[in-house]
Structure 1
Amino acid sequence: NCPGRTEDGLGMIFGVNHIGHFLLTHLLLERLKECAPSRVINVSSMAYKWGHIDFNNVETHKTLRTSNSFMQMFKAYCDTKLCNILFTRELAKMLQGTGVTCYSVHPGTIKTELTRNFPTIAKILTRPMTFLFFKDPMAGAQTTLHCALQEGIEPLSGRYFENCAVMDVNAEARDDATAKKLWEISERFCGLS
């Protein structure tokens, strides 16, 4: 299995990148409604494009990928970024008319410590790309800040933003049936249903 499991037995990448955010948002929903207008911003990634949700694997193993190879862990990361977009999409539907809006964002590829646990060779190979093409944290925060603060974007609730602009997503990230099924499984894994 992917390295580590949460205390609830979920795959670590799935638990941290999706289920934890799902539960936290659920726990805050009533307060967000009381304080409306309010916004929920889910940090996704353009890596969602390489993601896929294998519901049979999720149901059987409580994780998105069952291998611990570097490539499978990267794919699991991509899968969770797709989960973030689908979660935002379904959440927006449920919150219509409440004054709470939500957005998913790709902040860009940012110079962070994300690669600190990568194999040494992967660190060496990615260092030149990081230096040349990655954003600093200040630049990487701009799309998140845009979605948190920009007036007039409320009609775009549920949409995906990149470089402070709404972007179209691929078919799997727009699939309402997949979003609903992910929501139901997430509720069950969180003990909410």
Structure 2
Amino acid sequence: MYVLYTILASLGFFFVLKWMKKRKYCTDLKRLDGKTVLITGGNSGVGKDTAVSMAMRGARVIIACRDLDKAEKAVREIKFKSHSLNVFHMELDLANLRSVREFCKNFVQKEKRLDILINNAAMPGVLDCTDDNFSMCFGVNHLGHFLLTNLLLPQLKECAPSRVVTLTCSSYKYQKLDFQDLNYNLLPFFTYCRSKLANIYFSQELARITQGKGVTSYAVHPGFVQSGWTCHYSVLFRMLMQVIMWMFFVSSEIGAQTVIYCAVSDEAAKHSGGYFVDCRPATLRPFARDAGVAKKLWEASERLVKLV
């Protein structure tokens, strides 16, 4: 009898895990022929699976990555999975604002269009600093994408209707921004939370300033995804997280679904500035919907990246 109870309890546990990991798939089959999609960090995880979907829909896909060897390998895999040869890579280091500027200059010179920009690349909570002396999380997750989007915004407007999809995380709810210390870099997890909150404010303010100009903006929480972010930590931590991710996290293919949905869905287009989870709009905590804070962060970010 004890063995039977053990088996039943184990089955119940795995059914619960399966239910927890159940997510919606994007069912919109819209084609993207003639469109150009740019994905930061498209060499792995959610970014790579998003790139496969975009290429399968007929888009010209460009993945922007720091490591060119990994980018070349990813391009081969994306081409194989999507059966499309219209996939390319360009060098971009979001931890270096000069690299962002050079990338945008080259992109505008080489590419005639930009229809969908997917700000996917991100750093986990680490105590390192960028080349411009910002905390790695705030510098890469927010400032690098902020500068990238602003420099490419004229091209997005020219190709309207166009979209900007920025990946964030539900962990935004655990922190608020401190404008006396935007570059907070003391506790790695809290630093990460603040950067993800900044992504949400950025997406909202982008939607406001581009209203009526043909550019729509979305913040996406892809879920907690099995990915390689643990490579920045110790071997023991990586081993522990591999077990946890296997049990509770979703695959990158599933994590990409809401990103894909916001990139192609006509229904999503009605909610510019919105926060999306599981292929539908979700409610943010009240402090994360403060338009005044979003505008203040935008203006502060312009000064930090020297746009003004």
Match of 1:75 among 190, 207, 211: 190
* Residues 8-66 of structure 1: per-residue CA shift (max 9 Å, x gap): 221111100100000000011000000000000000011111122111112xxxx123x
Q: 2:305 matched to 1:185? A: no
Unaligned runs of 5+ in 2: 1-125
Which residue of structure 1 aligns with residue 205 of structure 2? 90
Aligned-pair identity in percent equals 43
Q: Do the aligned partners of 2:207 and 2:217 also contact (CA within 8 Å) in 1?
A: yes
2:178 aligns with 54
1:64 and 1:41 mapped to 2: Cα distance?
A: 25
Contact 2:141/2:195 (CA < 8 Å) preserved in 1? Answer: yes
Q: Shift of residue 172 of structure 1?
A: 1.6
Output aligned runs, 1:157-172, within 5 Å. 157-172=272-287
Contact 2:261–2:268 (CA<8 Å) still a contact in 1? no
Q: In the aligned structure 2, how far is the partner of 1:124 from the partner of 1:8?
A: 32
Which residue of 1 is the match for residue 252 of structure 2?
A: 137
Question: Contact between 1:39 and 1:101, CA under 8 Å: does it hold in 2?
Answer: yes
- Hey, which of these two has a bigger chunk of helix by percent? 1
Q: Which residue of 2 aligns with 1:45?
A: 169
Which of 93, 103, 108 does residue 223 from structure 2 map onto?
108
Match in the other structure for 2:93? none
Q: 1:64 aligns with which of 160, 184, 207?
A: 184
**Which has the higher Rg, Structure 1 or Structure 2?**
2
> 1:51–1:81: 8 Å Cα contact kept in structure 2?
no
CA distance in 2, matches of 1:140, 1:27: 28
CA distance in 1, matches of 2:221, 2:184: 21
Stretch of structure 1 that moved more, 112-121 or 177-186: 112-121
User: Could you tell me which residue of structure 2 aligns to residue 6 of structure 1?
Assistant: 130
Residues 201 and 288, structure 2, Cα contact 8 Å, conserved in 1? yes
Per-residue deviation, residues 101-138 of structure 1 (Å, max 9, x unmatched): 00000011111110112233433332322111111111
Greater CA drift, 47-56 or 114-123: 114-123
> What is the DSSP-based 3-state SS (H/G/I as helix, E as strand, rest coil) of the residue aligned with 2:180?
helix
Question: Match of 1:39, SS?
Answer: strand
1:89 corresponds to which letter in structure 2?
A: Q
Greater relative contact order: 1 or 2 (C-alpha under 8 angstroms, separation 6 or more)? 1
- Residue correspondences, number: 183
Q: Distance in 2 between matches of 1:122 and 1:175?
A: 36
Counterpart pick for 1:156 among 252, 268, 271: 271
Q: Distance in 1 between matches of 2:238 and 2:133?
A: 30
Partner in structure 1 of residue 145 of structure 2:
21
TM-score of the superposed pair, with normalisation by structure 2: 0.57
Contact persistence 1:49–1:170 (CA under 8 A) = yes
Q: Which residue identity does 2:240 align to in structure 1?
A: L
Alpha-carbon distance, 1:175 to partner: 0.9
Distance in 2 (alpha carbons) for counterparts of 1:83 and 1:182: 8
Bigger mean CA deviation after superposition, 80-89 or 6-15: 6-15
